[in-house]
Amino acid sequence: MVVNYDRLFSKRSKLLKSSEIRELLKLTQSDDFISLGGGLPNPQAFPVDIIRECINKIFESNILNALQYGTTEGLSLLRRVIAERMKKEKNIDCEMHDIIITSGAQQALSFVAFNFLDAGDTYMTSAPTYLGAIQAFHAYEANCEAIPLNHDGINIDALRRNLKRLHRTGIIPKFYYTVATFQNPSGETISLENRKALLELASEYDFLIVEDDPYGDLIFEGDPIPPIKSLDKKGRVIYISSFSKILAPGFRLAWVIASEEVLNKFTLTKQSMDLCTNVFSQYVAYEYIKGGYLDRHIKHIRELYKHKRDVMLQALEEYFPEGVKWTVPKGGMFLWVTLPKYINTRLMFKKALAKKVAYVVGDAFYPDGSNYNSMRLNFSYSDDEVIREGIKRLADVIKEEMASSADKETYYAEGV
Ligand SMILES: Cc1ncc(COP(=O)(O)O)c(C=O)c1O
């Protein structure tokens, strides 16, 4: 008898969607294809020799522990050095017991969803926002209130208006999710003033802030803006950061700083999901921080990514036609391109694939799929010449699309 999976899969499992974009990006694996779509660190930025040294040290002193199961909260040695670094570099008041280690920031996002979202609950975020967070929250049947982002990383007035409107109807959101610094996808950063305003709103309306911060260390210019968590005296912020962009994503290591109540729940969730995070990776990260390599490496990747951003910005100036705008991020790995309103980047995507260049369609980062004339470009991954050639190909696609759009007055309906 044939297995009837449709009857067997849970309702929740049926809500999981494969990302259409990720599927399309798989087509871009061939050698002559240029993908400006992925969100990958540059492989040249992997500190291979340092990692080898760290592993040698583990073999000399800790190999038996590194091969054993670990505690669910994570390796104490690692949590302690992270706490020291968070205090020193980010001004976050925390100790080892305020931190748990997770298998990537993505796992922490699924813990947020599991522990805070029941069907029909409401959470808030910006539009656009990180695609992986939309995916993690989607399966829990929550409603999303997405507030359009502006150049300050958050539209605080629109957020205030929406909170008032929701409040009138008896809806109090559970949390506001934000990538406050060098956002994926837009590259925008929330100002200090708006970080404070967001915390005040969280206190007034009693919701949590989920601050996802994988890019804060990748700063190219200007003064760093303190994480929202560093301003939080009441345990309202769940802070998530990751080793993926400052060491290597293959280690699948991230950490969460939150109140005792939240960490207890996350620890129980983790026990049932994977028992503990990869112990060997945790020892590598510990040796990496303790040896003083992390700070040195961050300095190196800041320079590398600043250079790559500048290569992309220069190519955009040179090749992109008039009428196309883009953000100039002061850090991170992405910039956001806005095309004239009569262009639909989803419809244009197949034409880009035909010219062997790819981007991520902007609507993927909108929880309701609205917005159709934008795209995310990644500048960290490719070699300089590849970035220039990719932008040149993309410029040709855009110019052709602009020329062939006969009716420039007709805008696509949102969500097309
Ligand atoms: C904003 C954001 N959060 C979370 C993640 C997932 O990170 P990790 O590799 O630590 O799971 C990413 C990955 O690109 C990201 O951009």
Tens of pLDDT, residue by residue, the chain (416 residues): 899 998 999 888 888 877 666 666 676 677 789 999 888 999 988 999 999 999 999 999 999 999 999 999 999 999 999 999 999 999 999 999 999 999 999 999 999 999 999 999 999 999 999 999 998 998 899 999 999 988 888 999 999 999 999 999 999 999 999 999 999 999 999 999 999 999 999 999 999 999 999 999 999 999 999 999 999 999 999 999 999 999 999 999 999 999 999 999 999 999 999 999 999 999 999 999 999 999 999 999 999 999 999 999 999 999 999 999 999 999 999 999 999 999 999 999 999 999 999 999 999 999 887 888 999 999 999 999 999 999 999 999 999 999 987 566 665 544 33
Ligand 1 centroid, distance to 179 Cα (angstroms)? 10
Please, are residues 92 and 230 in contact by the beta-carbon 8 Å criterion? yes
Please, are residues 253 and 101 in contact by the beta-carbon 8 Å criterion? yes
This prediction has a pTM of 0.94
- From residue 95, alpha-carbon distances to 27, 76, 231, 339 in Å are 45, 11, 16, 46
Q: Cα 234 to the chain's mean position, in Å?
A: 25
Q: Is the CB of 130 under 6 A from ligand 1?
A: yes
231-269 per-residue burial string, b: 16 or more CB within 10 A, e: under 16: bbeeebbbbbbbbbbbbbbebbbbbbbbbeebbebbbeb
Q: Is the CB of 128 under 6 A from ligand 1?
A: no
Atom 14 in ligand 1: residue holding the nearest Cα: 39
Residue 308 host element (H or E):
helix 293-319
pLDDT of residue 362: 93
φ, ψ for residue 334 (rounded to 5)?
-135, 155
Ligand 1 centroid, distance to 241 Cα (angstroms)? 8
pLDDT of residue 28: 66
pLDDT of residue 247: 96
Q: Is the CB of 39 under 6 A from ligand 1?
A: yes
Which runs of E-coded beta strand occur in 93-178?
99-102, 122-127, 143-148, 175-178
Ligand 1 centroid, distance to 232 Cα (angstroms)? 23
Pocket residue to mutate for ligand 1, from 21, 40, 42, 106, most atoms within 8 A of Cβ: 106
Q: Is the CB of 177 under 6 A from ligand 1?
A: no
- 220: which DSSP letter? -
Residue 256 host element (H or E):
strand 254-257
Ligand 1 centroid, distance to 292 Cα (angstroms)? 24
Q: Which amino acid is at 267?
A: T
- Bridge partners, residue 254, by sequence: 102, 242
Ligand 1 centroid, distance to 405 Cα (angstroms)? 36
Residue 357 host element (H or E):
strand 357-358
Please, are residues 258 and 86 in contact by the beta-carbon 8 Å criterion? no
Q: Is the CB of 38 under 6 A from ligand 1?
A: no
Q: Is the CB of 62 under 6 A from ligand 1?
A: no
Integer Cα distance of 150 and 127 in angstroms: 9
- 249: which DSSP letter? G
Name the percent of the chain in helix, strand, coil, to the closest 5.
50, 15, 40
Integer Cα distance of 333 and 187 in angstroms: 7
Q: Is the CB of 210 under 6 A from ligand 1?
A: no
Ligand 1 centroid, distance to 105 Cα (angstroms)? 5
CB atoms within 10 A of CB 31: 5
pLDDT of residue 16: 80
Q: Is the CB of 101 under 6 A from ligand 1?
A: no
Residue 337 host element (H or E):
strand 334-338
Atom 7 in ligand 1: residue holding the nearest Cα: 105
User: Residue 253 CA: which ligand 1 atom is closest?
Assistant: 10
Please, are residues 113 and 139 in contact by the beta-carbon 8 Å criterion? yes
Ligand 1 centroid, distance to 259 Cα (angstroms)? 22
